[in-house]
Amino acid sequence: LYTAPDSCEGRCGEPLREEDECHCHPECERRGSCCEDYERLCGSDGFSSSRDSISDQELLELSEQLYGADHNKARPSDIALNPQHRADPDETGDRQDRSPQPLYRHVNEELFSKPTYASFIKLLDNYQRATGREEEVTAEELSEQDRFLEEVMKTELMKKLFAFLQGKNRYGSEQEFVQDLKEMWFGLYSRGDGERDSSGFEHVFSGEVKKGKVSGFHNWIRFYLLEKQGVVNYFSHNFDGPWDTYPDVLGLQFSWDGFYKEVGSAFIGCSPEFEFGLYTLCFLARPGRACHLSLGGHSLSVQTYPWTKATYGGGRRFIATAYVMSP
């Protein structure tokens, strides 16, 4: 189900790209760049049908559809940003706070009463940010995970994503899809010393601290709430996307309780289901590789990585990280 970068599972006939570790297009035989399992999966007797692979064009078209279906996103009047200093490449690592004011001037918190936002926010305090400390998951936290998944699956955006993946023979039913979302995003694995201390959701949306640095933490709602509490300090930005409505993309530098994030990236003003859905799509279609998308006519890429040291469900991979790439 999840395509490792060095496998042809679900990739037969996929266009050749120089950045890929190996290829699954018939042309790879002439070039000598086929993945090891190319013949087994994509040869004449192979079972990994090329029509079930996800093409670059399909990713561009589907991402535009998901962008258009983000009905819960912020309106331009809901958020006022104050980006202040734009950091040069040689400034991002020096930990200098060049922006005296907070990043968020205003956020219309009525957004947070929408069901997907409210159920998302409840998840954010379920984690210990330090890696190496085992997460204890309570029955209440498990029910909060279920509630979030239930709410996002009510949205047109996630229904579109499921319909697409079902059409690609990735899932037979919505129930199977939801169960897999729960495992890939919330399933625990160890980033530390064998303790089950991390999950894709914690890393990407809530943020972690590892070896004295902020790790993950790519969500605008989490950033806003912690900045409001005074525990996140915005330093500067190194990228501001071309979008003049939300969602937009910001590459930024900040500290969290004194721990530094040299280059973070985040969608700004999107709904939780938009980020969750887009990252899921890219993890399933292009894990470990750049996933090229289009939003409102502007191109962008999402990078995801599978966690390689543990699996679930017969060899499926957990999400290690997912983030939007700022050039």
Catalytic annotation, residues: 203, 218, 261
Distance (Å, whole) CA 255 – CA 262: 9
Contact 135, 188 (CB under 8 A): yes
Token pair for residue 24? 């699954």
CA 170 vs CA 14, 29, 167, 273, 281: distances in Å: 16, 27, 8, 20, 11
Contact 2, 317 (CB under 8 A): yes
Contact 98, 85 (CB under 8 A): yes
Q: What is the DSSP letter of 130?
A: B
Provide the angle, in degrees to the nearest 10, between the axes of the packed helices 174-186 and 156-167. 100
Residues with Cβ within 8 Å of 297's Cβ and at least 6 positions away in sequence, in order, are none
Contact 320, 307 (CB under 8 A): yes
Q: What is the DSSP letter of 254?
A: E
- Beta-carbon neighbour count of residue 327 at 10 Å? 9
Residues with Cβ within 8 Å of 18's Cβ and at least 6 positions away in sequence, in order, are none
Q: Which residues of 127-165 are buried (b: 16+ CB within 10 A; e: fewer)?
A: bbbebbeeeebeeebeebbebbbebbbebebbebbbebb
Is residue 44 classed exposed, middle or buried when 0-12, 13-18 and 19+ CB atoms within 10 A define those classes?
A: exposed
